[in-house]
Amino acid sequence: MGSISERLIELQGEMSARKFAKLLGIKTSTLWEYLHGRDPPIGNLALIARRMHVDVSWLITGEGEKHYVHSSEPSEKYTLAMELDETIARLSDLKTRLRVLEEKSDEHQCEA
């Protein structure tokens, strides 16, 4: 039957930990703990089951039907939201890097 962490790894598939945690609505560090053997509290198990469209009994025990709907794939809405959040984070990082470069440029101009 395996463990809850094994079933979470199965549900994660090829998704990055960051994307998977965001989809589940939990911190990446919390997901890491779950993937490495810490059992989630029942509230988080219910949340994970709901967000991944799986039966909570299957998630806990590994027995019975896995899906309560036809797919464990995240909805297109969630996928697009995750992609948008990642793009915003990248833009924010680029903005910060640009600001640092501009400050360095200003420092060099003042020295000259």
User: Quick one: which of 67, 38, 42 has its CA closest to 29?
Assistant: 38
3-state secondary structure (DSSP) of residue 22 = helix
CB-based contact 35:4 (threshold 8 Å): no
3-state secondary structure (DSSP) of residue 84 = helix
State the pLDDT at residue 85: 66
- pLDDT tens column, 31-56: 999 999 999 998 888 889 888 988 88
| CATH architecture type of domain 4-111 | Orthogonal Bundle (1.10)
Residues 6+ apart with CB under 8 A from 22: 82, 85
The better pLDDT of the pair 7, 80 is held by 7
